[in-house]
Amino acid sequence: TTDIAAILGRLAVAPINPAWSTGNISGPSEGGPLIACFSPVDGAHIAAVGEASAADYHAVVAKATEAFATWREVPAPRRGEIVRQFGEALRRHKDDLGALVSYEMGKSLQEGLGEVQEMIDICDFATGLSRQLYGLTIASERPGHRMYEQWHPLGVVGIISAFNFPVAVWSWNAAIAWVCGNVCVWKPSEKTPLSAAACQAIIAGVLARHGLPEGISCLVQGGRALGELLAGDPRIALVSATGSTRMGKAVAAAVAARLGKSILELGGNNAMIITAHADLDIALPAAVFGAVGTAGQRCTSTRRLIIHASVYDAFKARLVRAYGQLRIGNPLDEANHVGPLIDRAAVGSYLAAIAACEEQGGHFLVKGEVLSGEGYASGCYVRPCIAEVSPDMPIVQAETFAPILYLMKYEILDEAIRIQNEVPQGLSSAIMTLNLREAERFLSAGGSDCGIANVNIGTSGAEIGGAFGGEKETGGGRESGSDAWKAYMRRQTNTINYSDKLPLAQGIKFNL
Ligand code: UN1
């Protein structure tokens, strides 16, 4: 069994600590409302966290703004060194933080540890990046002139993160934002405040050891109203938001209304195309992990399989057999494959989607149900299910954050690609094939319209080195690796005249 009190103690998170609501800066209003934290694993009430009031929020942003004035003057490689030390601290706390994430959020312990590994990886990436924030030198059309561009920090970056990756997605944003010279104000999901508090305690320790301003990393705990404050606040130069498309549209509108910058990483409706030339031995575990991993609550979870008619029946039979072997239960027990959904509201959405699917003509090969009895007392454990559907059913067009897998049949590859693309979302996609023409067609301009397109691996489990995000209702933002850092900085074009003349661009004559 997991000793959660001991884990919280080692992570320096006290069971009731008002300072959580605003990180290590100042407590929330005395006697203010609390956010209760329940574990979906066993339904236990773990702790309560103080909710930040509007006044707390404003104090935090003032503190962050003040810290920015110091942090932007620290050379980028020295900022990288701080992020490297944060990564070292995460290595030391990996087991505890991974277990806390697993217990608070309900994902398997392996996936909780994997999430902390993603944090460590992005710290390594950001440390190297801190010496590579390159601008270009550009040939000037004027004699005696030099033109170049450089990248400067933006200011305060607001990070809104979701329950499903309660720590990793914050770290992708924060680690990159910090080496770029920004300070961060984090509003985590109100469903996972303890994992957030633990991260804040770890980074606060690193900052304190170096005598750096605590406002470099800020935490505000709360719900939608707090997110709205952040989105509408002109002091927040960039809002990076991860979550539902509904939330993203509201954030985007509020940020755009003040002409601020945003990075949006929203819903996915990810498909895997399994062609006649697929290696079914790898397609099977890829599909099953993609669909049931994290209980179907990843943005990148596999929700649709588009299978060639010639292998449809054979693959279907293997899939149904594999689902029969899934062990559902306590995610901290490594013998189990599938843990609980985040809360009972999510169970309600799962049941509603199943009902809608049946009503719209879907046929269930593996039926879903809510599990009860020993080990399932939280009421959040559900059976992963599989339905045969037609692509245009409204429920198949929607993202349901639950382990419901839709099966469709196709004859011609371009038809499969069309089915894949004809949903509002555009995050992740995969093709399983050993045929070069099929793979390249899928990756071409006429192929997958998603931000992530994979060959012979599943839709979930992206590495941090690539840019992460997607198109259409997924929001268009890119986080994590590649050159995603550019969205966290402002580009400045500089032209320097070292001649004794003043030639104008475009050859314009202006004689005084
Ligand atoms: C998310 O679900 O919000 O690619 C992020 C993956 C993980 C990140 C998912 N590395 O599945």
Read off the pLDDT of residues 326-352 as tens digits, 9 standing for 90 and up: 999 999 999 999 999 999 999 999 999
State how far the Cα of 69 lies from the Cα of 50, in Å rounded to an integer. 29
**Residue whose CB lies within 8 A of the most ligand 1 atoms, among 299, 399, 450, 480, for a mutation test:** 299
Atom of ligand 1 nearest to the CA of 428: 4
Query: For residue 486, is pLDDT > 50?
Result: yes
Atom of ligand 1 nearest to the CA of 299: 2
State how far the Cα of 100 lies from the Cα of 7, in Å rounded to an integer. 7
State how far the Cα of 329 lies from the Cα of 325, in Å rounded to an integer. 13
Beta bridge partners of 493: 149
Residue 271 near residue 306, CB atoms below 8 Å: yes
pLDDT at residue 14, as a whole number: 62
Q: Over the stretch 260-318, which tens digit does the pLDDT of each residue have?
A: 999 999 999 999 999 999 999 999 999 999 999 999 999 999 999 999 999 999 999 99
Nearest CA to ligand 1 atom 6: 461
Q: Which of 107, 465, 460, 471 is nearest to 300 (CA)?
A: 460
Residue 256 near residue 248, CB atoms below 8 Å: no
Q: Identify the H or E element spanning 179.
A: helix 168-179
Q: Which of 456, 389, 457 is nearest to 423 (CA)?
A: 389
pLDDT at residue 25, as a whole number: 37
pLDDT at residue 24, as a whole number: 39
Q: Over the stretch 91-141, which tens digit does the pLDDT of each residue have?
A: 999 999 999 999 999 999 999 999 999 999 999 999 999 999 999 999 999
**Residue whose CB lies within 8 A of the most ligand 1 atoms, among 468, 478, 479, 480, for a mutation test:** 468
State how far the Cα of 328 lies from the Cα of 340, in Å rounded to an integer. 8
Q: Give the strand pairing for 425-426 and 471-472.
A: antiparallel
Distance 462 CA to ligand 1 centre (A): 6
Q: Over the stretch 351-362, which tens digit does the pLDDT of each residue have?
A: 999 999 999 999
Instruction: List active site positions.
Output: 265
Which residue type occupies 437?
R
Q: Over the stretch 383-440, which tens digit does the pLDDT of each residue have?
A: 999 999 999 999 999 999 999 999 999 999 999 999 999 999 999 999 999 999 999 9
State how far the Cα of 438 lies from the Cα of 443, in Å rounded to an integer. 9
Atom of ligand 1 nearest to the CA of 452: 4
Residue 453 near residue 429, CB atoms below 8 Å: yes
| DSSP-derived secondary structure for 460-485 | S---TTSEE--EETT-S--EESTTGG
Q: pTM, whole model, 2 decimals? A: 0.96
Distance 169 CA to ligand 1 centre (A): 8
Atom of ligand 1 nearest to the CA of 265: 3
**Torsion angle in degrees (nearest 10) through CA of 387, 423, 313, 283:** -100
State whether ipTM is beyond 0.95.
yes
State how far the Cα of 233 lies from the Cα of 239, in Å rounded to an integer. 10
Around ligand 1, the residues with Cβ closer than 6 Å are 118, 164-165, 169, 242, 298-300, 460-462
Atom of ligand 1 nearest to the CA of 298: 2
Distance 129 CA to ligand 1 centre (A): 21
Q: Over the stretch 146-172, which tens digit does the pLDDT of each residue have?
A: 999 999 999 999 999 999 999 999 999
Distance 369 CA to ligand 1 centre (A): 26
Q: With bands split at pLDDT 50, 70 and 90, how would you rate the model's confidence at 20?
A: very low
Query: For residue 26, is pLDDT > 50?
Result: no
pLDDT at residue 13, as a whole number: 74
Interval 216-223 mean pLDDT = 93
Q: Which of 355, 364, 347, 273 is nearest to 315 (CA)?
A: 273
Residue 442 near residue 428, CB atoms below 8 Å: no
Handedness of CA 417, 419, 422, 424 (dihedral sign): negative
Distance 294 CA to ligand 1 centre (A): 10
Q: With bands split at pLDDT 50, 70 and 90, how would you rate the model's confidence at 30?
A: low
468 or 15: which carries more pLDDT confidence? 468
**Residue whose CB lies within 8 A of the most ligand 1 atoms, among 297, 298, 464, for a mutation test:** 298
How does the average pLDDT of the chain come out, rounded? 95
Distance 298 CA to ligand 1 centre (A): 6
Distance 32 CA to ligand 1 centre (A): 34
Distance 217 CA to ligand 1 centre (A): 23
Interval 230-240 mean pLDDT = 98
* Cα→Cα distances 147→136, 493, 501, Å: 9, 7, 16
Distance 143 CA to ligand 1 centre (A): 50
Q: With bands split at pLDDT 50, 70 and 90, how would you rate the model's confidence at 19?
A: very low
**Residue whose CB lies within 8 A of the most ligand 1 atoms, among 160, 460, 474, 478, for a mutation test:** 460
Nearest CA to ligand 1 atom 7: 461
Helix (H, G, I), strand (E, B) or coil at 254: helix
Q: Which of 388, 378, 393 is nearest to 347 (CA)?
A: 378
Atom of ligand 1 nearest to the CA of 118: 10
Query: For residue 16, is pLDDT > 70?
Result: no
Interval 63-91 mean pLDDT = 97
Q: With bands split at pLDDT 50, 70 and 90, how would you rate the model's confidence at 28?
A: low
